[in-house]
Amino acid sequence: MWVLTPAAFAGKLLSVFRQPLSSLWRSLFPLFCWLRATWLLASKRTKQQLVWREPDETKEEEEDPPLSTTPTSVNYHFTRQCNYKCGFCFHTAKTSFVLPLEEAKRGLLLLKEAGMEKINFSGGEPFLHDRGEYLGKLVKFCKTELQLPSVSIVSNGSLIRERWFQNYGEYLDILAVSCDSFDEEVNVLIGRGQGKKNHVENLQKLRTWCRDYRVAFKINSVINRFNVEEDMTEQIKALNPVRWKVFQCLLIEGENCGEDALREAERFVIGDEEFERFLERHKEVSCLVPESNQKMKDSYLILDEYMRFLNCRKGRKDPSKSILDVGVEEAIKFSGFDEKMFLKRGGKYTWSKADLKLDW
């Protein structure tokens, strides 16, 4: 094959046309071959520059192994039983099972060894089982023996007695009391009513006990169809909780919606815009911590009464195997926990009463 410079090519072409016709083809043929080879080479280079090639999948690349999830903050729903009938409840009384105390302690020790810093006891109503003694023993165990930085409880508050604070208050960092309205008629409509007891008046009493026994006081509210237009600014400021957690009503299949559900929460649901308007109305409340459905759904590590992690990614609660059977590291793989969203929503905060520096 010939390789010619442009000047040499012109000279060669001129000499060709000076030859007799009989030898013209023999002279032009190598030129045509050279032109075709040059064109193919240029075309190949152009394609290499313009076309993105798939990476070679046969070539093994070293990748860092995925990081295991640390159960920094765990919500242990050790009972599903409750004395209230909130219409939107998403952890309903499907069983009456409660682990033996020593088994629950063994599971909590496994969680501590896996990196747990905060435990939150919830239900159902956690003060219902054994009149709060079971709960008190777990609280004391977590603070004195496991030495967790934070031990907290979520309760409707109706069954708490001052004697419980006297026995166990020093071991508890935060008590969160559920209150969805400061209108008692609305509370009854929602399902937070119990005979002659006034939910709002009881909330005031609990606030006083938390101050007297040095427990940080928190309020949880679920915003739904019946309280979305309410203005709670003055009441929240007067109670002055360390945090006011405001949730958007959430549907969970098999719990508060669907065929097997014990509740029908569809009538309580509000839209995102309505939730945002409620937040805007309360923007002056400094302790407000809002949680939309998007933030809440996958950003909690939830442990059920059998100590199984509950995965809510598909809109229902799919349980893992129990940490008592397979250990924390294996069970947590099936938790569906979104650690990035947990941090984004402010899941890690100053949660030890020793660090809160409250003016008791």
Distance, in Å, from the CA atom of 142 to the CA atom of 117, rounded to the nearest integer, reads 10
Catalytic sites, residue numbers: 82, 86, 89
Helix axes 24-50, 6-17, angle to 10 degrees: 150
What DSSP element (H or E) covers 308?
strand 308-311
Q: Which residues pair with 288 in a beta bridge?
A: 244
* Furthest CA-CA distance within the chain: 123
Length of the chain: 360
Backbone phi, psi, residue 304, to 5°: -90, -170
Nearest to 15 by CA among 1, 33, 28, 2: 28
What DSSP element (H or E) covers 47?
helix 24-50
- Give me 333's structure tokens: 């793989």
Q: DSSP assignment of 62-117, as one string?
A: --PPPPPPP--EEEEE-----S---TT-SS--S------HHHHHHHHHHHHHTT--
- Give me 33's structure tokens: 């071959």
